[in-house]
Amino acid sequence: MKILFLGDVVGNVGIQVIRDYLSVAKDKYQPNLIIANGENAAINGKGITKKAAMSLYDLGIDILTMGNHVWDQNEIYDLFVSHPNRIIRPANYPKSSPGQSYVTIKCGVKNVTIINISGQTFMDSLNCPFHAIDEILEQIPKDHYVVVDFHAEATSEKLAMGHYLTGRVTAVLGTHTHVQTSDAQILNKQTAYITDVGMVGCSSGVLGMSQDSVIKRFTTKLPVKLEIIQNTDSWQFSAVLIETESNSIKAKSIHQILERS
């Protein structure tokens, strides 16, 4: 089985990149399942709207994962009701939070469970992600392929999670920093890992935002409004392709994809 995982999709440009490039990627990589982190898919880059989610589903994304921006748009509450099996939020939010934190999808005769968790280091104050994932893994049949989107800032926490889950899941894929790392690898010949998949969106600017607004904020310390770049001339498509073993939940390979205009 082949699983294509796209990093944080940012704004309209991000959706446009998927519209333009995903069919190419599908032809090339023949994925059986496509997952994308959608926490920045809203038009302003904060959270996700119904319209953005519908576009992404229509374009072929099977499952959307979220992150620290999950609650930025109120429409997320509707999405969790209307599409409970196609969008998830980090598991270490309080148990009473809206939405689910993992979902199982059939891929032919195989089951794939996708789990979303958030880091604690340099992030909002959430419960321990290591214990949160342990709790979920106890509830999942051992023959499920498991893909974990670990939405986190610190490389140490992400690598620690990769090693912590080695042999227990198919893949641990980092998101949130919007910059792809060069370290895709199979940990201990069992679990696919990358520290950050990177971003789908505008490749100029700062993480999909206008560089002028970001620089002004850093240099003046004023609450400058960050403006999302609407220009689709310079784009990037950041993803990983994971190929699984057929007789075990192990990953056979992980391949980094970084297409830029």
The footprint of Fe ion (CB under 5 A) covers 8, 39-40, 67-68, 176
Q: What's the rounded Cα separation, in Å, for the pair 57 and 149? A: 18
Q: Which residues of this protein are in contact with its own copies, per CB under 8 A?
A: 71-72, 93-94, 96-97, 120-122, 124-128, 130-131, 153-157, 159-160, 163-164, 177-183, 195-196, 198, 205-207, 209, 211, 214-215, 218-223, 256, 258
Q: Count CA atoms within 13 Å of residue 56 on its CB side.
A: 35
61 vs 123 by CB, closer to its own copies: 123
Q: Which does 32 bind (CB under 5 to 8 A by kind): its own copies, Fe ion, none?
A: none
Q: Is 131 a catalytic residue?
A: no
Q: What's the rounded Cα separation, in Å, for the pair 108 and 57? A: 19
Token pair for residue 153?
Answer: 């800032």
Tell me if 44 is assigned to a ligand binding site.
no
100 backbone φψ class: left, alpha, beta (φ>0; ψ -120 to 50) = beta
- Residue 216 phi/psi, 5° resolution? -60, -40
176 vs 250 by CB, closer to Fe ion: 176
Q: At what angle do helices 155-165 and 129-139 cross, to 10 degrees?
A: 30
Q: Which does 258 bind (CB under 5 to 8 A by kind): its own copies, Fe ion, none?
A: its own copies
Tell me which residues are annotated as active site.
69
Binding-site residue numbers for Fe cation are 8, 39-40, 68, 151, 176, 178
